[in-house]
Amino acid sequence: MARISYIKHLLISFFLLFFISFPLQSQDSGNNTIQVLNLSGAIGPATSEYIRIGIEAAQTEALAVIIEMDTPGGLDLAMRDIIQTILDSDIPVITYVSPQGARAASAGTYILYASHVAAMAPATNLGAATPVQIAAPDLTDTGTEDDGDETAMERKMVNDARAYIRGLAELRGRNADWAEAAVVEAASLSASEALAENVIDIVASDSNELVSLLNGRVVNVNGQNLVLTTENVNLQYVEPDWRISFLKVITDPNLILILGMIGIYGLIIEFYNPGFGLPGVLGAICLLLAGYGLQLLPLNYAGIGLIIVGVILIIAEALIPSFGILGIGGIAAFSLGALFMVDTDIAVYQVSLPLVAAIGVGFALLIGATLRLFLNIKKKASVSGIGTIVGADGISLTDLNTTGMVEVHGEVWNAETDSNIKKGDKIKVVGTKGAHLQVSKE
């Protein structure tokens, strides 16, 4: 009997340890707030910062976070930052593709897979998660591994993305095969199809229905099973602060390019008018803002190098006119560099062609004005020096047989003559010889 009692206690201890290791917890009933973040438009540094700050702030203030998403995709680095924040969260993160007609394309699909709960509104879709890099060619790819139109670099990117999304699918217990198809074949699904294929967990027409369907759902958060209790919860909508709004503006490549040009023009003007101060200060501030925006974006360093070379050549043309040779080369280098500046295929983070053309025309006009000014200076007659008094009248200060002194324009000059000129005679300057005037009797 003692032996049976011992075994009985051993089994009880085993089951207690088992349930301690895999607890099923209920959330704190005292916290009845769910914070709602809005992720709309292209995903970039500002979006990543907004989601990160929102989720981190909600850890002690809310029982869950809902990300209402409508995105065509975005930058890979920003997407991975958002996913890392979701994976590190101590409270459930529910991603909800909403409103009706919204989409979770490309990077949005990865975020949906990473979330603790994936939900969609009717008439929404997700998928098309193939990474495509068309902003600039890969200069290191020799083409020896080409297979049709696909380069070796493109295959590396696809394989990396496929492994990444499959890992997320396996972590959340979702359809990993379809996740791979979304990357490799750019597959897409509607909300109802995604629910049937075990890609998402819920289809809800609005946020209120979503909250109702979340009630009682078991969610695994960092190895712990939590039971969502969403009865009588309050939805708290969190808007981006001024810093996030500023970040969104400053990471626009077109604005970065404009700020850079204002900065360069400001420094050039300050160089030509030293001591004025305002152009130099404004130029320095604009260049610093442009640099801050640039370091937040995925850069193509060949493009940045071309921009720097182009600016140097344009400034050199302004300072040392080469009749357009340096200027034309600078404009070409700058324009190509601007087009390749940001290394992404997302249209929102690419430089506008009309803007590049407008800046190129502006530089051409600057170079043209510089050349015209230079030619006018070359053609303009001298207004000072010995060359300006040829043809002028004067008076002899001494007797001139060969050499002597004369006064012209109130100045005393050494003079030479081949005629006999008496002191006080009027003379006319007929030429110069070194620092001497050649004169004749008037």
Q: Which residues pair with 189 in a beta bridge?
A: 126
Q: Does residue 29 have a pLDDT over 50? A: no
- Mean pLDDT (the chain, rounded): 81
**pLDDT digits 0-9 by tens, 113-123:** 999 999 999 99
Q: Does residue 109 have a pLDDT over 60? A: yes
Nearest to 442 by CA among 429, 423, 421, 427: 427
pLDDT of residue 375: 65
**pLDDT confidence of 323, banded at 50, 70, 90?**
low
Edge to edge, what strands does the sheet with 234-238 contain? 202-203, 117-120, 93-97, 64-70, 33-40, 234-238
Q: Dihedrals φ, ψ of 28, to 5°?
A: -60, 115
Q: Do 176 and 166 contact (CB within 8 A), yes or no?
A: yes
pLDDT of residue 167: 94
Give the mean pLDDT of 61-77.
92
Residues 188-200, buried b or exposed e (16+ Cβ, 10 A)? bbbbeebbeeebb
The gap from C-alpha 188 to its chain's centroid, in whole angstroms, comes to 29
Give the Cα separation of 422 and 386 in Å (integer): 24
Overall size of the chain counted in residues:
442
Give the Cα separation of 49 and 328 in Å (integer): 41
Helix, coil or strand: residue 395: strand
**pLDDT digits 0-9 by tens, 367-410:** 777 667 666 666 655 555 566 677 788 888 888 777 888 888 77
Known catalytic residue at 106: yes
Known catalytic residue at 433: no
Residue 326 tokens, joined: 């340096």
**pLDDT confidence of 46, banded at 50, 70, 90?**
very high
Burial degree of 216 (CB within 10 A; 0-12, 13-18, 19+): exposed
pLDDT of residue 321: 62
Helix, coil or strand: residue 406: strand
Lowest mean pLDDT among 143-152, 186-195, 232-241: 143-152
**pLDDT digits 0-9 by tens, 274-314:** 666 788 888 889 889 988 888 888 888 888 888 888 888 87
Give the mean pLDDT of 357-373.
76
Q: Is the four-CA dihedral 139, 145, 148, 152 of positive or negative sign?
A: negative
Residue 319 tokens, joined: 């300072």
Q: Does residue 253 have a pLDDT over 50? A: yes
Q: Based on C-alpha coordinates, what's the Rg of the chain? A: 38
pLDDT of residue 361: 83
**pLDDT digits 0-9 by tens, 197-246:** 999 999 999 999 999 999 999 999 988 999 999 888 999 999 988 888 88
Pick the catalytic residue: 106, 188, 207, 335?
A: 106
pLDDT of residue 340: 84
Q: Detail the DSSP E strand segments found in 228-329.
A: 234-238
Residues 122-155, buried b or exposed e (16+ Cβ, 10 A)? eebbbbbbbbebebbeeeeeeeeeeeeeebbebe
Pick the catalytic residue: 156, 248, 428, 441?
A: 156
| pTM of model > 0.75 | no
